[in-house]
Amino acid sequence: MMNQTDFSPIHTRRLPRIWVWGTGILVVGFVLLQLVRFVIPEFQPDNPPVTQRIVWNSQETEQLWNQACAACHSNETVYPWYSYIAPVGWLVAHDTHEGRGELNISEDNRVEWDELIEVIEEGEMPLPIYVTMHPEANLSDAQRETLIAGIRATFR
């Protein structure tokens, strides 16, 4: 059975106030999360200057490289809209910086092409999370072989 106090004016006024405060706290928290990338450089999507250009053996090799590898392994990353919204953007920026730390063809003139080929052959790259968000990076076996042959021809 319902109690008279369940519908009291005080009780009905308190509920909307809780929703307003709760929503306000969530909005302020979300806005503060967006500002973190300006304080922590690792969370900032960036493109440092390109200090080196690779002359690929063919346009097809370059196209396949750009399709599957360049977003994380060059300074010419095209960041999608969601990379500017925390906390997803933090993951995108972190993964991009980590990828550049392993191999960055825009700056590093010491490309370990044999290691690069091995990683592609073993299916370790591109990362599954990247392929999920960028299905065009999921190369077919023929495309993968073409990319590997092109890398060999470019760096030998």
Domain count for the chain, please give it: 2
Is the same domain home to 56 and 24? no
Q: Tens-digit pLDDT profile for the chain (156 aa)?
A: 555 555 555 555 667 888 888 888 889 888 888 887 788 777 888 889 999 988 999 999 999 999 999 999 999 999 999 989 989 988 999 999 999 999 999 987 677 888 889 999 998 989 898 999 899 999 999 999 999 999 999 988
* List of residues 6+ apart from 95 with CB closer than 8 A: 72, 127, 129, 130
Is the same domain home to 30 and 55? no
Is the same domain home to 64 and 114? yes
The rounded distance, in Å, linking the Cα atoms of 92 and 99 is 11
Domain boundaries, position 19: 4-38
Is the same domain home to 34 and 47? no
Is the same domain home to 65 and 24? no
Is the same domain home to 33 and 50? no
Q: What are the start-end ranges of the H helices in 54-110?
A: 59-68, 70-73, 88-102
φ, ψ of residue 26 to 5 degrees: the values are -65, -45
DSSP annotation of 50:
P
Is the same domain home to 11 and 33? yes
The rounded distance, in Å, linking the Cα atoms of 49 and 57 is 23
